[in-house]
């Protein structure tokens, strides 16, 4: 049964190979000062920087650049961005990049006029925003996180060895996002497949929870099938527009607040992955791929009906003469093979995790109630050790 909910998503999307023209329609809605946020420079190599600045100039904006947003943006960078946004009196924050740049833009948007320490207020204490919010727009260059159409913002505090996400409300979601699949063609393979798995993980985090008959689970099975098909095509030909455009669209729908409506969700893989990320600074999707199979094997007995359904509906496992457990296990085996074929990291050691970190990673993992079994700290250590034994 679907639970009660309110659904509202204010982000306007411009999708397709001419999507950037949407920027011309959006910019006049905001004041003159645009904080132009981007990462380590990929947008200068692939030409997106020039395309965006041309339009900003045409629209007579003052461009204030905030470059160097690193993957897994840090709290120190956030403080720096707040200072800059306040100083230039930013009317709009334009994020041009992947999830890290979009997440950072949202964090600056709520923190620039916050009179408390934003790390403590939003990330440690999960408080709501009660100050001025600077509007954010995104030009997405890498798919995976769904940050382009949600309120999520993940910030890393390296000194405290914590990586924490805050899901902000509608008023913090991007006002608009520009989604041009061609922009994703230049993403290096390692980052590309990391993003692919992030999408899969977002869907599974919402799928493997509860056992009701609800439309969301059918939507998610469809998204997963399309994702598996399109990612296989994209591996063979990274500039296959059809595949990359489908993947971009799946990524947005995987985490734009729709499929979670009316049902419970898990998110424990992300909790473990984020803690692994806090210790290793590894690519987000790889932190998820390295713990997913051990985690799902561990919780499978507690949600056997859903794992059986997953095996049949997503991985086409034949059921004849098999027990539920055999069917469910075969589904996870097929998923594992697909992940290996994609080239994903399956062992946390390959991300730099060592035995002496396990205790701390488990300590930094938030333990949630939405999955089929609430983990203990010892369970997290067990899952990490299982990952470390994968060949």
Instruction: Return residues touching ligand NZQ (CB under 6 A).
Output: 39-42, 46, 71-72, 97-101, 103, 141-142, 144-147, 150, 152-154, 165, 183-184, 186-187, 191, 195, 198, 255, 270, 284
Query: Smallest distance from the beta carbon of 367 to Zn ion, in angstroms?
Result: 18
Distances (CA, A) of 259 to 191, 310, 312: 25, 16, 20
Query: Smallest distance from the beta carbon of 319 to ligand NZQ, in angstroms?
Result: 33
Closest CB to ligand NZQ among 111 and 329? 111
Q: Judged by CB under 5 A, which stretch of 38-46, 52-60, 158-166, 190-198 contacts Zn ion?
A: 190-198
Query: Smallest distance from the beta carbon of 224 to Zn ion, in angstroms?
Result: 15
Query: Smallest distance from the beta carbon of 361 to ligand NZQ, in angstroms?
Result: 15
Here's the x/- map for Zn ion, 2-31, by CB under 5 A: it reads as ------------------------------
Provide the residue count of the chain.
Answer: 391
Query: Smallest distance from the beta carbon of 330 to ligand NZQ, in angstroms?
Result: 28
Distance (Å, rounded) from C-alpha 206 to C-alpha 218? 12
Residue 61 DSSP one-character state: P
256 binds, among ligand NZQ, Zn ion, none (CB under 5 to 8 A by kind): none
Closest CB to ligand NZQ among 211 and 240? 240
What tokens does 282 get? 């590894």
371 binds, among Zn ion, ligand NZQ, none (CB under 5 to 8 A by kind): none
177 within 8 A of 148, measured Cβ to Cβ: yes
Residue closest to Zn ion, measured at CB: 198
Distance (Å, rounded) from C-alpha 372 to C-alpha 357? 26
Among residues 103, 198, 217, 266, the one that binds Zn ion under rule CB under 5 A: 198
Query: Smallest distance from the beta carbon of 382 to ligand NZQ, in angstroms?
Result: 23
Distance (Å, rounded) from C-alpha 197 to C-alpha 111? 30
Residues in binding contact with Zn ion, number by CB under 5 A = 1
Closest CB to ligand NZQ among 235 and 312? 235
Q: DSSP string covering 164-205, please?
A: EEEE--GGGS-SEEEE-GGGGGGS-HHHHHHHHHHHHHHHHH
Distance (Å, rounded) from C-alpha 285 to C-alpha 191? 8
Closest CB to ligand NZQ among 255 and 311? 255
Query: Smallest distance from the beta carbon of 156 to ligand NZQ, in angstroms?
Result: 7
Closest CB to ligand NZQ among 35 and 304? 35
What tokens does 274 get? 């984020």
SS3 at position 36 = strand
Closest CB to ligand NZQ among 182 and 332? 182
303 binds, among ligand NZQ, Zn ion, none (CB under 5 to 8 A by kind): none
92 binds, among Zn ion, ligand NZQ, none (CB under 5 to 8 A by kind): none
Minimal CA–CA distance to 196: which of 40, 335, 391, 18?
335
Helix (H) or strand (E) holding 96: strand 92-97
Closest CB to ligand NZQ among 97 and 309? 97
Closest CB to ligand NZQ among 1 and 45? 45
Minimal CA–CA distance to 66: which of 45, 50, 82, 51?
82
148 within 8 A of 138, measured Cβ to Cβ: yes
Minimal CA–CA distance to 81: which of 61, 62, 97, 95?
95
Closest CB to Zn ion among 293 and 328? 293
Q: DSSP string covering 46-94, please?
A: SSHHHHHHHHHHHTTPEEEEE--PPSS-BHHHHHHHHHHHHHTT-SEEE
364 binds, among ligand NZQ, Zn ion, none (CB under 5 to 8 A by kind): none
What tokens does 194 get? 């990391």
Contacts of 386 (CB under 8 A, 6+ apart): 294, 297, 298
142 binds, among Zn ion, ligand NZQ, none (CB under 5 to 8 A by kind): ligand NZQ
| Interacting residues toward Zn ion by CB under 5 A | 198
């Amino acid at each position: 049964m679907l639970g009660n909910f309110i659904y509202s998503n204010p982000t306007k999307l411009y999708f397709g190979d001419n999507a950037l023209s949407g920027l011309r329609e959006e910019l006049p809605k905001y004041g003159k000062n645009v904080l132009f946020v981007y990462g380590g420079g990929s947008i200068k190599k692939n030409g997106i920087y020039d395309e965006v600045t041309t339009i900003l100039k045409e629209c007579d904006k003052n461009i204030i650049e905030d470059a160097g947003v690193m993957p897994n943006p840090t709290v120190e960078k956030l403080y720096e961005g707040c200072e800059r946004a306040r100083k230039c009196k930013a009317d709009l924050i334009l994020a041009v990049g992947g999830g890290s740049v979009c997440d950072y833009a949202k964090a600056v948007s709520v923190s620039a006029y916050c009179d408390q320490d934003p790390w403590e207020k939003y990330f440690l204490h999960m408080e709501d925003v009660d100050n001025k919010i600077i509007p954010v727009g995104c030009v997405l260059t890498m798919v995976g996180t769904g940050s382009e159409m949600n309120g999520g913002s993940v910030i890393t505090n390296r000194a405290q060895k914590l990586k924490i996400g805050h899901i902000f409300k509608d008023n913090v979601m991007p006002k608009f996002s520009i989604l041009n699949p061609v922009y994703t063609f230049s993403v290096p393979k390692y980052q590309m497949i990391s993003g692919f798995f992030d999408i899969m993980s977002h869907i599974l985090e919402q799928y493997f929870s509860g056992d009701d008959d609800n439309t969301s689970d059918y939507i998610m099975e469809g998204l997963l099938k399309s994702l598996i098909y399109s990612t296989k095509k994209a591996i063979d030909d990274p500039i296959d527009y059809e595949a990359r455009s489908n993947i971009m669209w799946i990524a947005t729908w995987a985490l734009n607040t729709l499929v979670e409506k009316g049902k419970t969700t898990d998110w424990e893989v992300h909790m473990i992955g984020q803690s692994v990320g806090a210790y290793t600074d590894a690519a987000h999707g790889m932190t998820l791929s390295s713990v997913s199979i051990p985690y799902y094997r561990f919780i499978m007995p507690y949600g056997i009906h859903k794992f059986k359904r997953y095996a049949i509906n997503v991985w086409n496992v034949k059921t004849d003469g098999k027990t539920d457990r055999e069917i469910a296990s075969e589904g996870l085996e097929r998923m594992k093979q697909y992940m290996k074929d994609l080239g994903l990291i399956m062992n946390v050691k390959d991300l730099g995790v060592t035995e002496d970190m396990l205790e701390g990673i488990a300590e930094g993992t938030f333990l949630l109630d939405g999955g089929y079994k609430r983990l203990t700290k010892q369970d997290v250590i067990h899952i990490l050790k299982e990952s470390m034994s994968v060949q």
